[in-house]
Amino acid sequence: MTLTGFFRYFVSALQWGSFYALIAIGYTMVYGVLMLFNFAHGDIFMAGSYIGLFVAGALLAISAGGLIPMAPWLILILTIVGTMLGTSIVGMLVERIAYRPLRNAPRASAAVTGLMIGLLMETGNLRLLGAERRKFPSLIETTVYKVGGVSITNTKIMIVGVSLALMYILHLLVRRTKWGMAMRAMAYDFPVVPLMGVSIDSIASATFVLGSSMAAIAGIFFCTAYPVLEPYMGILIGWKAFIAAIVGGRGSIVGAMFGGYLLGFIEIFVPAILPSTFRDLIAYTIILIILTFRPHGFFGEPYSAHMRL
């Protein structure tokens, strides 16, 4: 592999790692706070992509119709904000319908309702919007920069940069704010939190809002890079991000980031060496080996009562 080739793969790996990391954060936050696997998260990502499609379409129509002319960057920012809001509502609804009533039930029952609500979202989408694939509008002009023989597009820089910045902001949010403190308290000792006058329901909703917003951003970025939407797009990427969250360490935001980028690198560099059909096989085998030696992931702690959020 030449050096330029290596850098080309490196940039792609960073980009894919950002997608995985953003989605993995949603899994890990829900796990850290509520101790349940949100198996519908991949489909929340899918919903985010579709909401992004409609918000962007509406904004472009408004702008092009001359009603309120907007610059492309403004459209992009408004799309991101609108999609985050819309997807947060979806995430809150999922929590409200599928998880909240089952908080005292066996956790596996909640896993089943999660899986089923994901299935419902996929089929509902298929039924409402039809099976055809939709194309995401390009919101910003793609420009290509040449750095020493490696071509980097501005979208890739934006994706990686904004993702890292957002993850840092989220980290601060969880570390430095009262809400974040409440979330960490819930991860640390679930029954005591309501005794301190903190509402479990609103913290749970807030967790889903944050996780779903990250999934929404992942959706928009994913569609900017690969502008094809279909109802089942969330399944594969969702499960992979789930595995990434586990490898990073359940309940740890830094861990989810790390796991996401690790998975991105494995997935991009394995096909560079081996046939691409082996990608999943090698990726999961590596992850199985990692988990054999580090059962709690890289940043997780042995006892689930002590989550690092």
Partner 1 sequence: MKALIQKVRSLFTDIPIQAWVLGFLVAAAIERLAGDVIAGPLGLERVPRLFGVRFMIESLLLILDFGVVEGSTIDYLRAGEVAQAVGVAVKGFLLIPSTIAYLLVLYFVPVSIVARLTAPLIKRLPYRLSMSLLLIALYGAVQMWGLDQYRIMVLYFIFISILLTVSLNLVNGYMGEFSCASGGFMAVGAYVTSILTVGGFVHDDVFGPPLLPPALGFFLFPIALVIGGLVTALTALLVAIPSFRTRGDYLAIITLAYTFIVKSLFENLEVVGGPRGFMNQPTTWASLPVIFIWTILGVWIMRNYVSTILGKGATVVRDDETAAEVMTVNTRRVKVITFMLSAFWSGVAGGLYAHVIGYINPSDFGIMKTAEVMAMLYMGGLNSISGSMVGAVIYRLLMEGLRPLGILRWMVIPVIIIIFMLRRPWGLISFREFGVLRKEVRRAPASD
Element (H, E) at 51: helix 41-64
Q: Does 98 bind partner 1 (CB under 8 A)?
A: yes
Nearer to partner 1 (CB atom), residue 70 or residue 235: 235
Distances (CA, A) of 264 to 37, 166, 197, 241, 243: 22, 18, 41, 10, 12
Nearer to partner 1 (CB atom), residue 52 or residue 114: 114
Nearer to partner 1 (CB atom), residue 179 or residue 232: 232
Q: Which stretch binds partner 1 (CB under 8 A): 140-148, 186-194, 199-207, 287-295?
A: 287-295
# of chain residues touching partner 1 (CB under 8 A): 44
Would you state the torsion angle of the CA atoms of residues 203, 28, 23, 177, taken in this order, to the nearest 10 degrees? 40
Go through 149-178 and write b for each residue having 16 or more CB atoms within 10 A of its CB, e for each that does not. Answer: eeebeebbeebbebbeebbeebbeebeeee
Element (H, E) at 17: helix 3-34
d(C-alpha 52, C-alpha 275), whole Å: 34
Nearer to partner 1 (CB atom), residue 29 or residue 98: 98
Nearer to partner 1 (CB atom), residue 24 or residue 223: 24
Q: Does 295 bind partner 1 (CB under 8 A)?
A: yes
Residue 143: Cβ within 10 Å count: 10
Shortest approach of partner 1 to residue 211 CB, angstroms? 18
d(C-alpha 50, C-alpha 44), whole Å: 10
Residue of the chain from 14, 174, 182, 246 that contacts partner 1 (CB under 8 A): 246
Site track 204-243 with partner 1 (rule: CB under 8 A), x = hit: -------------------------------x---x--xx
3-state secondary structure of 132: coil
Shortest approach of partner 1 to residue 109 CB, angstroms? 5
Shortest approach of partner 1 to residue 244 CB, angstroms? 11
d(C-alpha 233, C-alpha 163), whole Å: 20
Residue of the chain from 137, 296, 298, 301 that contacts partner 1 (CB under 8 A): 296
DSSP string, 202-271: HHHHHHHHHHHHHHHHHHHHHHHHS-EE-TTHHHHHHHHHHHHHHHH-TT-HHHHHHHHHHHHHHHHHHH
Shortest approach of partner 1 to residue 130 CB, angstroms? 11
Q: Does 276 bind partner 1 (CB under 8 A)?
A: no
Q: Does 69 bind partner 1 (CB under 8 A)?
A: no
Residue of the chain from 60, 89, 93, 115 that contacts partner 1 (CB under 8 A): 115
Nearer to partner 1 (CB atom), residue 145 or residue 278: 278
Residue of the chain from 117, 203, 210, 214 that contacts partner 1 (CB under 8 A): 117
Largest CA distance in the chain: 60
Q: Does 112 bind partner 1 (CB under 8 A)?
A: yes
Q: Does 130 bind partner 1 (CB under 8 A)?
A: no
Tokens 């953003």, residue located: 22
Phi first, then psi: give them for residue 136, nearest 5 degrees: -80, 130
Interface ranges with partner 1 (CB under 8 A): 37, 97-98, 101-102, 104-109, 111-113, 115-117, 119-120, 122-124, 126-127, 235, 239, 242-243, 246, 250, 277-278, 280-281, 284-285, 287-288, 291-292, 295-296, 302, 304
